[in-house]
Chain A
Amino acid sequence: DQQVKQNSPSLSVQEGRISILNCDYTNSMFDYFLWYKKYPAEGPTFLISISSIKDKNEDGRFTVFLNKSAKHLSLHIVPSQPGDSAVYFCAASHHLGNKLVFGAGTILRVKS
């Protein structure tokens, strides 16, 4: 029972353009959503989060959008840089700090 799904295993984007990573969830109890970035041989690094009371949160080049009615969130990276190439995980929880349910990840490649 996959409660958090990232349907795109990989995404390739040109440097300077926008990267859009998508995530869908099924559990209505989730009220906190996070994006993590993972480089090879490193642990996931927290990027940005959003609570269910908001529909947008922005931090520099990263913006997360939440559509509760569609149970969908997306991460926008503008402009994309080669150093953004990594695996991106979407995660959800019922209250921040509780167990996270992760998607399978999307490999982002930013070409220079």
Chain B
Amino acid sequence: DAGVTQSPTHLIKTRGQQVTLRCSPKSGHDTVSWYQQALGQGPQFIFQYYEEEERQRGNFPDRFSGHQFPNYSSELNVNALLLGDSALYLCASSLTGMLGNSPLHFGNGTRLTVT
């Protein structure tokens, strides 16, 4: 049973560039959330996708955008990269159900370094 997979595992970009991170949810899950974890802090919610639409959004600028595909996989795009965007980006999946939702299952993350 494949868990949440993210690619790439590491990435180095230059200020001002754009980056795309990818995520495949755990088998059977239909909802994908993205989190940013800075060093020494807990993960911070960026946004959540369900049925190919952004359902919730955290306090992140419009430079952060996403997409969910019909197969439930997802991408996180960040434009005009800043040094402060350097962090671990975590994707999490869950199942949205009529009787309640499942806890989030996280991938191992993508370590983004902006120089």
Contact = CB atoms under 8 A, between A and B. Distances in A.
Contacts, number: 59
B105 A46 contact: yes
Interface in A58-112: 89, 91, 95-105
Given A43-B90, A97-B31, A102 B44 contact: yes
A101 B42 CA distance: 8
Secondary structure of the B contact surface, majority rule: strand
Interface of A: 4, 34, 36, 41-46, 49, 89, 91, 95-105
Interface residues of B, number: 27
Nearest to B57: A99
B73 interface: no
Contacts of B106: 36, 43-45
Contacts of B40: 104
